[in-house]
Each structure stands twice: as structure tokens, then as C-alpha cells.
Amino acid sequence: MTRFAFTVEFDGRPFMGWQRQAHGPSVQQAIEEAIARVTGEAAVVHAAGRTDAGVHGLAMRAHADIARPITAFRLMEAINALIRPNPVAILDCMIVPDDWHARFSCTGRAYVYRIVNRRAPLTHEAGLAWRVTQPLDADAMHEAAQHLIGLHDFTTFRSAHCQSASPVKTLDRLDVARDGDRVAIHAQARSFLHHQVRSMVGCLGLVGMGRWSPQDMADALVAADRSRLGLNAPPDGLYFVRADYPASTT
């Protein structure tokens, strides 16, 4: 049995999320079905994180154990050939130690949320970014974001369906930057709660619109009360960017 690690890119629009679902297609299912066609095995693909319906991946890390003798390059090429027309691509494939785990060996996860701040409808990026028509103050958004950095109880920004044992997380980075009509929000932590990034972004959007002040963001965090959430941003603009691992593993 050989453990293969994958780097996966995907467009989340056709999927119910990363994880297999009884009520619709998933990224995990698409990859597992392609592997089954290549190897004849019912391999389970484990990922660094789960994504909601409509959320995208630039470099999701995942792994699967496969018994059939096959090189990493040939496996990658075969999956990419057979996974079409699903908008999923294996960018890299490598053999890793048996104790390497895409989820449990991961020491950090990074996301970017993309906003297009314009009145005109999206054409090429429909479903790939959040269009906000009201002018956004990115500087105020960045100021508000800094209130969330560090170790906090993020109950306000946690889905009611979150299965995490604790709402306490350490947020390492939350930066907001504008480039023309594009606003990018970068978030990084060891792990995130369900809907945490989208909930933080939604409230930052309220700050940018002038409906909240940066202090309102701080007050919402301290309240540790989901009812204090101002807005949950749509999944369209959210991308899983990177999963970090100890250098000695991969």
C-alpha cells in the first residue's frame, strides 16, 4: 500500500463542497471515482480541510492509499484524464510516508476571499467573486480585521452547525488590500471554524460599506454570540489557498 499526496485545484460551483454528500456531487467523490477507474480500488481521499458548496480550491492538499503499483506521475495524469468534465485538476502528486496525513499533519491553512467592488455585473467571474456595488473602504476593513487577530472565542463567527469541539481559535492573519476594483482578504490560521472566514468577511464588508465601525467588529467578537453576526458572505469569493506542513514531511 502506497500513500500518495495530491495538490488539488477546483472550481467549487458545481459541487456541494469538498466532502462526499448524499444529496449532490462533491470534489472528494469526483477524485475517488477517477481513482477507482484508474486502479479498480475504492480509495478514500482525505483532505486538509472541508469546503462549503460553491467554495473554490487553488491548492487543496489531500491523500489516498493505493495498493496497485503505479508511479505518482502516471497516477496524476490518469486522474486528470478521467476526472473530466469535472472542473478539478491534480496539480501535483507525490509519494509520502505512511504516517503523513493531509488533515492531521497540517500545521496551517490559508484562504483568500475575493471581492469585486463595482456596479457592473460580473461576466467572466460570476460565481468566482463577491460583487459589492456599494463603495468599500478597504482601509477601515483592514483596521477592523486587526481586532480579530490572536486567540479568541469566535462563536459570533461560527456556524450553528459547526462540529468543532471548541469555538476558541488563534487567527494568525487577516489582511485586507485593494487593487483597483478588487479587494482581497487574506486569512491564515492553524484551523478554522465552519463558516468562520465567510462570517468574518461578511462583517468586514459591513465595515467597508460604513454600516459598521471597526469597533463594532471588536464588540461582535467579544459578545461571542452568533446573533451578533452582521452578515455571512457568499461562498463565491472564497478560495482555499494553501495548507502548511512540517518541512521534514512534505
Residues catalogued as catalytic: 52
**What torsion do the CA atoms of 162, 163, 165, 166 make, to the nearest 10 degrees?**
-10
Which residue from 67, 92, 98, 69 is spatially nearest to 80, judged by alpha carbons? 92
Q: Which three cell numbers stand for residue 4?
A: 500518495
C-alpha–C-alpha distance, residues 94 and 8, integer Å:
12
234 to 89, 131, 231: CA distances (angstroms): 24, 10, 9
Amino acid at position 104, single letter: F
48 to 159, 177, 185, 243: CA distances (angstroms): 19, 26, 21, 7
Amino acid at position 249, single letter: T
- Which residue's C-alpha cell is 514531511? 249
Q: State in Å, rounded, how far the first CA of the chain is from the last one.
A: 19
